[in-house]
A and B are shown apart, each in its own frame.
Chain A
Amino acid sequence: MSAWTVVLLASGLSFATKLAGYLVPESWVDGPRRSRVLTLLPVALLAGLVAIQTFGGDGGSLHVDARLAAVAAAVVLLVLRANFLVVVVGAAAVAAGLRSLGWG
């Protein structure tokens, strides 16, 4: 498989996957039960993603490091009702600070 084949095939499949979600017939997503599941769907996927971003390492291994401290700092800032930018910058600063001290 040439490099261009890989690039264009992966791109085509990526777009087709995204578009498929927009072309699903309305009858498939109708009704209160399905509506509830669909409303919760991105919430589940993003929570799973945050878990992997926080703990995940090579080959699916799990680690506790500066990322967890950063997300914990974000939670503390959220409890204190800090504004969004403060939460994001604060978390990054905690991770960067701990790493500059040689941890995580």
Chain B
Amino acid sequence: MTSAAPTSHDDGEHPAYAALTAGDRRAVLRQSLSVGIATGAYGISFGALGVASGLTTLQTVALSLLLFSGGSQFALVGILGAGGAGSAAVATSTLLGVRNGLYALQTSRILDLGGLRRLAAAQITIDESTAVAVGQEKRRAGRLGFWVTGVTVFVFWNLMTLAGAVVGNALGDPQRWGLDAAAAAAFTALLWPRLHNRDAAATMALAVAIALLASPVLPVGVPVILTVLAAVVVGLAAHGRHERVDPEVES
């Protein structure tokens, strides 16, 4: 995909721009596909829940195709199913989607795209594609991971949504299979290598504290957005301390 042809920009000495070995590529693909399939499987729950909330099959499928953000979609049909107002459903869905826009600030720098490809990248900018992209040491691995994860989740999520809407939730409760824990474990594994970097480790610790303290008192979606503070505080405080030079700074 995007990592195929080396460009002069990518040929720098910085190790982050090094070419991918076959082993690198396999590791990224393994991560991308397992994250994509585990997340996609959840689509069957969404499809069943969407129809149960009173939406038609077409409306349920349209949400997975067009809205394409799991947390927002579950919240939206949850509110509609409970008899809530459409405006409340749209507001909560949008609030939960804010983090995708924040992810895009960084994935746009990793992907470095122009024109129409930004539209495609935007639609698949979600937790999973971002986590795999930022979890890679090499820039090209990040790009490959972003696209493969995003497209895999998109395809599986939509197929499973259709299946769930038409035949019901054949999987049963996804929690029975531990799929909710698989998602948290996958994100943990993707963030794991970052713990070697002192700033990233401090950011994670602060972010976890902020999210947990805010969760009982703030509306759903807000605690995670509030973790932006962790990145700002650590990012600005780290001034003058370079453990690992950012490739972006040099380019």
Contacts and interface: CB of A to CB of B under 8 A. Distances in A.
B180 A7 contact: no
B130 A37 contact: no
Interface in B49-106: 54-56, 59, 62-63, 66-69, 72, 76, 80, 85-87, 89-90, 93-94, 97-106
Contacts of A8: 62, 66
Given A7-B63, A10-B67, A67 B184 contact: yes
A49 B249 CA distance: 28
B224 A49 contact: yes
| Main SS at interface, chain B | helix
Given A29-B109, A67-B181, A88-B182, A39 B246 contact: yes
Contact of B189 (A17, A52, A87): A87
Q: Which of A32, A39, A89 has the most CB of B within 10 A?
A: A39
Interface residues of B, number: 104
Contacts of A101: none
B223 interface: yes
Interface string A17-37: 111111110000100111111
B122 A84 contact: no
Interface in A67-97: 67, 70-71, 73-75, 78, 83-85, 87-97
Nearest to A20: B101
A10 B218 contact: no
B66 A88 contact: no
A73 to B, nearest CB: 8
Contact of A94 (B27, B97, B178): B178
Contact of A21 (B30, B34, B105, B176): B105
A41 B38 CA distance: 25
A46 B131 CA distance: 7
Nearest to B199: A40
A93 to B, nearest CB: 6
B23 interface: no
Contacts of B206: 44
Interface in B198-235: 199-200, 203-208, 210-212, 215-220, 223-232, 234-235
8 contacts: A3-B59, A7-B66, A44-B231, A45-B102, A45-B228, A46-B131, A46-B187, A48-B207
